[in-house]
Amino acid sequence: MYNQWNFENSYLNLPKIFYSQTNPDKFPNLKVILKNENLIQKLNLNNNFFDKLIINSIKNDQNNFFSQAYAGHQFGQFTILGDGRATLLGEHLNSKKERYDIQLKGSGKTPYSRNGDGKGTLKSMVREYIISEAMNNFNISTTRSLALLKTGEKILRNSFEEGGILVRVAKSHIRVGTLQFAMISNKKDNVEKLLEYSIQRLYPELINEKEKYLKFFEKVTENQINLILEWQRVGFIHGVMNTDNMLLSGETLDYGPCAYLDEYNPNKVFSSIDRNGRYSFSNQPRIAMWNLARLAETFLHLIDKDQKIAIKKIEHILNKHENKYKNLWLSMMKDKIDINQNHEKDIELIKELLDLMHVYKLDYTNTFIDIQKNNLDKYSSMKNWHSKLQDRKKINKKSNIKKNINPSIIPRNHIIESLLNDLDIENLKNIKTFIKYLEKPYSDNIPEKYTKAPEVEERVHQTFCGT
């Protein structure tokens, strides 16, 4: 067990344009108010020294803390960006030699802050903590939340708000946008250096492969497709699928204006800035493909000297995975309604269900739970569909029914909002209780107040980046 970080910063071996040395601001009254004991354990850190470790890391300047440079397409527009409010403390190796970025989010200005103050509100950090840990508990790949601190400082947003720092953990923070940044840099070999680094760090099994760059692209594509599929399973809308928010590791990154669906609507967007529905629920797979095409553009020249051939190879992978996604989606949806084996009308059955759910504004999470529990009598709109489902189930093989598909609890917007409205920094009991129930999202034993769909007047329709 470690009382100190076990840092080994491989990222700093990359050319200097990829990062800038930074240090967190000094804060008047830092305090750890939430910590993730499971994750502390996974990192083999000593829980007894943890608070001190984090606070000292923020207080004492180091010459090897850094922020990362990157670029990205934001809502389709290419921009130079970078960690404007994040400082990477280092890459921690646990006792199994697994490598994790330990990053502070909201710790003050960096060279990439542009007009921002580099800080974040405590409320937005609590929100990320809850939603990202729920994602992990659904068994979906994501950056994690190790701890949450109050800074003791008031920061100006619409009004003055309590400041917070989230300690974020990821396999790595290399984004599609990091390669885009390399592509527009002066030196041509920056792309190659970053690619080699990414392969070494995230997909080391490819190092000696023949067409390793193409295989790397395929791996990233596969991970991304699987990630989106999982988001669709639990009704998650990311909200800002810009290329700078897409990690090469396939972890979910950037919990800004994201939210989970209450009533089903394929066109749903929560984000106040997504006016054209670019990142709506049903558009997520398409946008992932678009982002992957932007990724491929950064290293086409390394796939084949002949650009036409390189493009063909990339298109082949994208098309293959687009089809694969359709099949995976069908089989995931079949799992959600507890049918197995194949029948030519399965897709129709599922589409009809989704149409009904859309038209009758049925709750995404609870409807699937009711289907699973064969509890459909209360849905007058679904009588006809229910009898079709029962017929279809006759060809099911009993042993193949999948578990842990339909969560019974999700971090619903209106619950988070009400917890944040009543936030009392000295007493996070209610938040901790909610987090506790979210630890077992497939359990049958969750109080109704956490699983009930919001009443019409409780519904939250919009989220804000909340920086």
Q: Which of 9, 84, 297, 442 binds ligand AMP (CB under 6 A)?
A: 84
Residues 6 or more apart in contact with residue 264 via CB below 8 angstroms: 235, 354, 357, 358, 361, 362, 363, 364, 367
- For 381, counting Cβ atoms within 10 Å of its Cβ (0-12 exposed, 13-18 middle, 19+ buried), the class is middle
Within a 10 A sphere around the Cβ of 367, how many other Cβ atoms? 25
Shortest Å, Cβ 6 to ligand AMP? 27
Q: Which of 145, 190, 221, 245 binds Mg ion (CB under 5 A)?
A: 245
Residue 243 tokens, joined: 């290329």
Choose from ligand AMP, Mg ion, none: what does 83 bind? Cβ within 5-8 Å by kind: ligand AMP
Give how far the C-alpha of residue 389 lies from the chain's centroid of Cα atoms, to the nearest Å. Answer: 33
Q: Is 108 in the site for ligand AMP (CB under 6 A)?
A: no
Choose from Mg ion, ligand AMP, none: what does 84 bind? Cβ within 5-8 Å by kind: ligand AMP
Q: For Mg ion, how many residues bind (rule: CB under 5 A)?
A: 2
Within a 10 A sphere around the Cβ of 386, how many other Cβ atoms? 16
The C-alpha R_g of the chain, in whole angstroms, comes to 23
Q: Is 76 in the site for ligand AMP (CB under 6 A)?
A: no
Give how far the C-alpha of residue 263 lies from the chain's centroid of Cα atoms, to the nearest Å. Answer: 21
Binding mask 253-272 for ligand AMP (x = CB under 6 A): -x-x----------------
Q: Is 116 in the site for ligand AMP (CB under 6 A)?
A: yes
Q: Is 254 in the site for Mg ion (CB under 5 A)?
A: yes
Residue with tokens 């089903």: 264
In the annotation, is 244 catalytic?
A: yes
Shortest Å, Cβ 366 to ligand AMP? 31
Q: Report how far apart the first and last C-alpha atoms of the chain are (Å, whole number).
A: 35
Binding to ligand AMP (CB under 6 A) within 137-156 occurs at none
Q: Among the candidate windows 221-229, 250-258, 426-434, 452-460, which touches Mg ion by CB under 5 A?
A: 250-258
Q: Is 94 in the site for ligand AMP (CB under 6 A)?
A: no
**Catalytic entry in 25, 244, 254, 262:** 244
Q: Is 15 in the site for ligand AMP (CB under 6 A)?
A: no
CB closer to ligand AMP, 181 vs 437: 181
CA distances to 137, 158, 199, 339, 430 from 453, in Å: 20, 30, 43, 25, 19
Q: Looking at the annotation, which residues are catalytic?
A: 244
Residues that bind Mg ion (CB under 5 A): 245, 254
